[in-house]
Amino acid sequence: MKLSQRMKKLPPQFFATLVRNVNLAKAEGRDIINLGQGNPDQPTPPHIVAKLQESAASPKNHGYGPFTGLDTFKAAVATFYQREYNVTLDPTSEVAILFGSKTGLVELPLCLMDPGDAMLLPDPGYPDYLSGPALFDTEIISMPLEEKNDFLPDYTRLSEADKKRAEWLYLNYPNNPTGAIATPAFFAETVALAKKHTIGVLHDFAYGAIGFDGVKPPSFLETPGAKEVGIELYTLSKTYNMAGWRVGFAVGNATAIEAINLVQDHLFVSLFPAIQEAAIEALLGDQQNVTDLVARYEKRRNALISGCQAIGWDVVAPQGSFFAWLPVPNGYTSTDFTALLLNEADVAVADGSGFGTYGEGYIRVGLLIDEKRIAEALTRIAALHLFD
């Protein structure tokens, strides 16, 4: 059998390569400290699991659910956004249930762009942002994210031609991989750009709950006029440690939400209703687990940053997400340094160049192991005498 041309154009699965390299090293009996993963290490809170167990046992949930999701789940999403961000949503027209936010990221070009249309994508950025354009024949215009601009895109660097032909713009704050947070002023600038040039905005808010030093990351939809130009994608994977449950949602512009619901009506049947009911419990139930989780990540972040500084590694602390974006030592590429750490220190990190051209010179480190293992990783790295 032959593969379709669309399949052949898909980018290499960056994370699959990372996992394979780590597993090969572990198969050799090596004690690998994996700082490269993006999989939450804590279990789903017990009250959410209990709700799934209760709902899964109910026969009413064993058949097809409504194709666009439970009305009760969409109402819970609206309540969540009102509580957390003072954003008012119409559950019937401004909420779409997703099979994890990745689905929404990839399918948007299918339902809201034509072949040959252009999309503005951050560089570095989540590698799967490239999947939709590859599958649905849309073009990519890269927006560099650089430390000198706090890892926010500088819209003045976009040519008038690029702004004219761009149909959609993807953003992601708190940012993967840099850990940067957007400001309300930046989001206001984004809305102004979108209105002036008729560009749709998709804000990937996957790490929305995770901000440090007392800072609550803002929602794009808090910005006046945001719903006129765009949508925001949220996932329960990070906030509630529900990565394997594959549940998220898109909120915002009613026209975009209608298009997402329509394409999903053709691609899927509804998400298992019991998972949706557990998601309601997550959004509306006790939120202490979220507070505790953010505190855990901040404690790990502090251990990582202080440990790096202690060995002479000049790094900047992330403002949010559960990642740190660390510069490689002089004389190394991102790929070389990543290989050195795995081969010589048994420490796995994510190669920054896998996130885009402007990822070169960095590695991504996850805050998904405890402080003791973080300290051990830094002890191993210090033994390489790269920062003496």
Q: For 293-320, how does the pLDDT look when each residue is reduced to its tens digit (9 = 90+)?
A: 999 999 999 999 999 999 999 999 999 9
Give the pLDDT score at 13: 78
Q: What percent of the chain has pLDDT over 90?
A: 91
The confidence band for 276, taking pLDDT boundaries of 50, 70 and 90, is: very high
Give the pLDDT score at 116: 94
The confidence band for 215, taking pLDDT boundaries of 50, 70 and 90, is: very high
Segment 65-74 mean pLDDT: 94
pLDDT at 210 over 80: yes
Give the pLDDT score at 10: 85
pLDDT mean across residues, the chain = 96
The confidence band for 235, taking pLDDT boundaries of 50, 70 and 90, is: very high
Q: What percent of the chain has pLDDT over 70?
A: 100
Segment 136-141 mean pLDDT: 95
**In the structure encoding, which two tokens stand for residue 40, read together?**
């939450």
pLDDT at 53 over 90: yes
Indicate the range of 18-22, 89-93, 163-167, 332-336 predicted with least confidence.
18-22
**In the structure encoding, which two tokens stand for residue 5, read together?**
């041309």
Q: Where are the beta strands (DSSP E) in the chain?
A: 33-34, 95-98, 118-123, 139-144, 166-172, 200-204, 230-235, 248-252, 323-327, 347-348, 350-351, 362-366
Q: Which of 112, 125, 144 is nearest to 231 (CA)?
A: 112
Domains of the chain: 5-44+288-382 (3.90.1150.10), 63-284 (3.40.640.10)
Segment 10-29 mean pLDDT: 85
Helix axes 273-284 and 71-85, enclosed angle (nearest 10)? 20
CB 51 within 8 A of CB 278: yes
Give the pLDDT score at 22: 87
CB 323 within 8 A of CB 364: yes
For residues 79, 81, 86, 90, the Cα torsion angle rounded to the nearest 10 degrees is: -70
* Per-position DSSP letters for 97-147, written without gaps between them: EESSHHHHHHHHHHHH--TT-EEEEEES--GGGGHHHHHHT-EEEEEE--G
pLDDT at 14 over 80: no
pLDDT at 327 over 90: yes
pLDDT at 207 over 90: yes
pLDDT at 15 over 80: no
Q: Which residues contact 80 (CB under 8 A, 6 or more apart)?
A: 283, 284
Give the pLDDT score at 269: 83
CB 332 within 8 A of CB 363: no
Distance CA 163, CA 155 (A): 9
332, burial (CB in 10 Å: exposed 0-12, middle 13-18, buried 19+): middle
Segment 104-120 mean pLDDT: 95
pTM of the entire predicted model: 0.96
Give the pLDDT score at 7: 85
Segment 200-206 mean pLDDT: 98
Segment 37-49 mean pLDDT: 95
Give the pLDDT score at 16: 80
Helix-, strand-, coil-residue percentages of the chain, each rounded to 5: 50, 15, 35
The confidence band for 224, taking pLDDT boundaries of 50, 70 and 90, is: very high
**In the structure encoding, which two tokens stand for residue 166, read together?**
């761009």
pLDDT at 181 over 90: yes
Segment 271-283 mean pLDDT: 97
Distance CA 247, CA 97 (A): 8
Give the pLDDT score at 17: 81
The confidence band for 25, taking pLDDT boundaries of 50, 70 and 90, is: confident
pLDDT at 38 over 80: yes
The confidence band for 341, taking pLDDT boundaries of 50, 70 and 90, is: very high
pLDDT at 268 over 90: no
CB 322 within 8 A of CB 238: yes
